[in-house]
Amino acid sequence: MNDIITILYAAIASGTIILYATIGEIITERSGILNLGVEGIMLMGAFFGFYVAYTTESLILAILGAAVIGGLMGLIHAFMTITLQANQVVSGLALTMFGTGASAFFGVSMVGKTLKTSFDVIPIPLLSKIPILGEVLFNHNILVYFAFILPVIIWFIFNRTRWGLALRSSGEEPLSSEIMGIKVIKIRYIATIVGGVFIGISGAYLSVAYSRLWVEGMTAGKGWITIALVIFANWNPLIAYGGAYLFGGLTQLGLNLQKFNIPFPIILLKSIPYVFTLLFLLFISIKGKRSNLPKALGESYFRESRG
């Protein structure tokens, strides 16, 4: 029983990493921009967040720093794909390569360092006392709690505000949106930058709150898993919960196979997240429901083509 609580607790804690990034990528993709640079942005956020936390000992500055660096990475992608109309796949790959390289380049000085400050666990009064559920859900740090409400906020913005409508129509029908007076280019810029902000924060959560270490390439493919989970979540922030925590849970379950006396080579456990991600995608492909896929996702938008 205790094992199961531990696993569920870890599922929430590790799912949070992916949840932030998934929300960020959903925002970006909903505007019509495919950002495959998630892995690189996360790494930059993880490095810079850790660096700021280490040097200033301020956690707020660390998260802000990661948000800014994530936003800047988003800006690079926006500039490349929107203004210079570069291929979105290649620009995303370049961004991943850049983030991986630059974080490792500057991160050398942070390897092996430990943080003096950390995000404290804040048990929520009353709720944390609920048996099992309280322990699993309401005994976390502030970033985990914020991740509980973030998808709801984003869902609300998507579906109940003018901004959300403008964002979604930019991703569906950029040309007619422009005619309706929506500034597609501006919206796509904002969405890509804001998406980068949340992806950057996910990196900082990973390095500053979750593992409290900076390790080169520490995201280990989580950025790519995120991109898969966006598809799994059908671009819906609310389903992103399910995707992120379910994924966190299955991964933790896999990593704890030995606890249940299931013989499996320990080294191969590392593959579990990637295999699960492929299975998630397979499941979605077979089910065949991708109703929210933004129609204009990945296509360059030429304003001049209005003629």
Partner 1 sequence: MFKIKLEQKERVSKREELIITLSAIGIAFVLSGIFIALNGVNPFVALWKVITSALGSPYGISETLVKAIPLIFTGLSVAIALNSKLWNIGAEGQLFFGATLATAFIIYGPVLPKPLEITVLIILGAIGGALWAAIPALLKIKFKMNEVISTLLLNYVAINIADYFLFGPWKGKDNFPYTPEFPPEARFSRIGFGRVHAGLILALVLVVLLYILIYHTKTGYKMRLTGSSLKAAKYAGINIKKTMFMVFLMSGALAGLAGVSQICGIEYKLHQHISTGYGYTGIIVAWLARTNPFIIVIFAIFLSILLKGADSLQIAMRLPAAVGVVMQALILFAILGSELFKNYNVKLIRGK
x/- mask, partner 1, residues 97-136, rule CB under 8 A, reads xx-xxxxxxx-x----------------------------
27 close to 194: Cβ distance less than 8 angstroms: yes
Q: What's the min distance (Å) between Cβ of 118 and partner 1?
A: 27
b/e burial code for range 8-36 (CB count within 10 A of at least 16 → b): bbbbbbbbbbbbbbbbbbbbbbbbbbbbb
By C-beta, is 85 or 258 nearer to partner 1? 85
Q: Applying CB under 8 A, which of residues 7, 13, 206, 225 lies at the interface with partner 1?
A: 225
Q: Does 304 bind partner 1 (CB under 8 A)?
A: yes
Q: Does 260 bind partner 1 (CB under 8 A)?
A: no
By C-beta, is 197 or 229 nearer to partner 1? 229
> DSSP E strands: which ranges in the chain?
none
Identify the sign of the CA torsion 4, 10, 13, 18: negative
Q: Does 187 bind partner 1 (CB under 8 A)?
A: no
Q: Does 257 bind partner 1 (CB under 8 A)?
A: no
Tell me the C-alpha distance between 195 and 28, whole Å. Answer: 5
Q: Applying CB under 8 A, which of residues 60, 89, 152, 153 lies at the interface with partner 1?
A: 89
Number of H helices, E strands in the chain: 12, 0
List of residues 6+ apart from 150 with CB closer than 8 A: 19, 20, 23, 198, 237
By C-beta, is 86 or 142 nearer to partner 1? 86
Q: Does 58 bind partner 1 (CB under 8 A)?
A: no
Tell me the C-alpha distance between 291 and 293, whole Å. Answer: 6
Residues near partner 1 (CB under 8 A) are 36, 76, 80, 83-87, 89-91, 93-95, 97-98, 100-106, 108, 216, 220-221, 224-225, 227-228, 231, 265, 267-268, 270-271, 274-275, 277-278, 281-282, 285-286, 302, 304
